Structure 1
Amino acid sequence: MAIPNDKKIILFDGVCNLCNNAVNFIIKHDKNDMFRYASLQSDIGIQLAKERNIDATKLDSILLIDPGVAYYHKSSAALHIAKHLSGAYPLIYAGIILPKFFRDWMYDLIAKNRYKWFGKKNSCMIPTPQLKALFIDN
């Protein structure tokens, strides 16, 4: 699948249960169809990270790519994603006023323990046929 220019791309750890649940949550609350998804372990995920001088094998963070504009990782990515969700979730974006070092410290604490606390799959998530069109790495 071609990389869409008009969608924000979320790269996530495809074997992480927390990350997979977060992607499912985002899909459910993405009423304006803003996002497309790929695992960091996929060829396209590795390519997109590499284009931004990021080693996907060492990344323990979600990565949000806004084509032609910027990319965000760690807490900044999570907050920018929340800003585009339906319901009250955009209010979470107010957390952007907290110092980045503090937000990322909290993010890193969860990221470091995500497999221990939430578990890990043996392989990347396979989207259901209904959701397959949302994934650029299929």
Structure 2
Amino acid sequence: MAPQAAAPVIVFDGICLLCSRWVNFLLKHDRAGRYHFAAMQSAYGRELLAAHGLNPDSPLSFLLVDEGRGYTDTRAIVRVLRGLGQRRWRWLGNVVGSVPRGISDPAYRFIARHRYRIFGQRRSCFVPTPEQRARFSP
């Protein structure tokens, strides 16, 4: 029997309100519990960012690590939405994926660069509930 692959990990900005809302959305809609999470402010999150060529002190994207491969920008969003398994999210992932990356990635990076100004930020890092804790890396 082949060894179980590690769960996909989403590295997110734990103080960004938009990013925290994205994580809450995924916790609600990822019924299979497929995705795990690491704040970019954690040692593990920083390690994953650096390993995939992103600056841990100023990433312009969240990072999805799935089967050892890193995905960023709209490629990551599309992969996550499709991975939720529900028809409406796969459909949305396909719609987002149909936008040329020359348009979608710069738009994503613009929002990422200005995320605090547009959406705000928390004073402290996102804290999962006790029920959610098993899906978060230290």
Do they superpose with TM above 0.5? yes
CA distance in 1, matches of 2:135, 2:37: 6
Q: Distance in 2 between matches of 1:24 and 1:39?
A: 13
Q: Write out per-residue CA displacement over residues 1-36 of structure 1, whole angstroms, 9 at most, x where no aligned residue.
A: xxx943110000110000001000011110122100
Q: In the alignment, is residue 83 of structure 1 matched against residue 82 of structure 2? A: yes
| Alignment-derived partner of residue 124 in structure 1 | 125
Q: Calculate the aligned-residue CA RMSD, in Å.
A: 1.6
Q: What SS class does the counterpart of residue 64 from structure 2 fall into?
A: strand
TM-score by length of 2: 0.88
Higher mean C-alpha displacement, 22-31 vs 53-62: 53-62
Residues 74-116 of structure 1 show CA distances to partners (whole Å, capped at 9, x for unaligned) of 1111111110123501112222232212111221222122212
In structure 2, runs of 5+ residues without a counterpart are none
User: Are residue 98 (structure 1) and residue 99 (structure 2) matched?
Assistant: yes
Mean Cα displacement is larger for which, 70-79 or 97-106?
97-106
Unpaired segments of 5 or more residues in structure 1? none
Cα-to-partner distance string for 1:46-70 (whole Å, 9 max, x where unaligned): 11112223221120211100133x2
Alpha-carbon shift at residue 37 of structure 1 (Å): 0.1
CA–CA distance in 2 between the matches of 1:30 and 1:12?
16
